[in-house]
Amino acid sequence: MSEKPFSGEVALVTGASRGIGAATALALAEAGAHVVLTARDAKALEEVEERIHQAGGTATIAPVNLSEPDGIARLATAVSQRWDKLDMLVINAALLPQLGPVTDIDQGAFNKALTVNVLATQALLANFSPLLKKSGNARVIGLTSSVATAPRAFWGAYASTKAAFEVLLDCYAQETKNIAKLRVAVVNPGATRTQMRARAYPGEDPATLKGPEVVAEQLVRLLGEQFESGHHESVNHA
């Protein structure tokens, strides 16, 4: 493999302001991709962009709130005006509603999670599919959770959104498999040192968890492989 295997490629990473998203953006840029950084926090995105530039990579920030009805469409328009294709889409952004019994789910918070984790995923696929299909080697990776397929008590709100998230990606994989040079994978990062993990497990020692860069390394490896569309895998511990 060459030093810069993704040279000339464009990648879009959602939730790129921190955690796994930021680490993945940095790793993709190091591998030669131009990375479009998307998240709500413009200042945090600028910090990630600066880190990429300092390391010799290239990136563009595109602050977007995925819960806004027209935000993703505006983002897709902006990207298509600058680039004629999109080679990689990493759907990492997600919202974790408060944990609790199914009977006590706050419907307002649940609706926000459904919007970010499910509706925004469909909107990303719908709006960026034309650009992905213009790439000769398009890859879509969605970051999931083990609770999507192994539900646990008190995780009903989040688990149900991630289950729907996986179904959308798996259906999209089947729908595009034979009509486009486009492959889809779903990756479970497992227990990782992130803000979301700290919120879910406040008493956990973060030193016992792998860092986001471990997940990023595996994602970049996968993006460089000829995996079968509809592929699922989990990230091993460091």
Residue 75 clears pLDDT 90, i.e. is over it: yes
| Residue 194, helix vs strand vs coil | coil
pLDDT tens per residue, range 211-234: 999 999 999 999 999 999 999 999
Neighbours of 60 (CB within 10 A): 18
* Beta-carbon-side half-sphere exposure of residue 151 (alpha carbons within 13 Å): 13
Token pair, residue 180, equals: 């486009």
Pick the closest to residue 173 from 125, 225, 230 (CA basis): 230
| pLDDT value, residue 236 | 77
CA distances from 149 to 146, 170, 231 (A): 6, 13, 15
| pLDDT value, residue 165 | 98
Catalytic residue among 6, 128, 155, 158: 158
| pLDDT value, residue 1 | 39
Average predicted confidence (pLDDT) for the chain: 96
pLDDT tens per residue, range 34-71: 999 999 999 999 999 999 999 999 999 999 999 987 99
For the question of residue 158 being annotated catalytic, the response is yes
pLDDT tens per residue, range 88-106: 999 999 999 999 999 999 9
| pLDDT value, residue 195 | 93
Beta strands in the chain (DSSP E): 10-14, 34-38, 58-61, 88-91, 138-143, 182-188, 231-234
pTM: 0.96
> Domains, the chain, ranges and CATH?
10-234 (3.40.50.720)
Report percent pLDDT > 70 for the chain.
98
| pLDDT value, residue 237 | 63
Answer yes or no: are the C-beta atoms of 34 and 53 closer than 8 Å: no
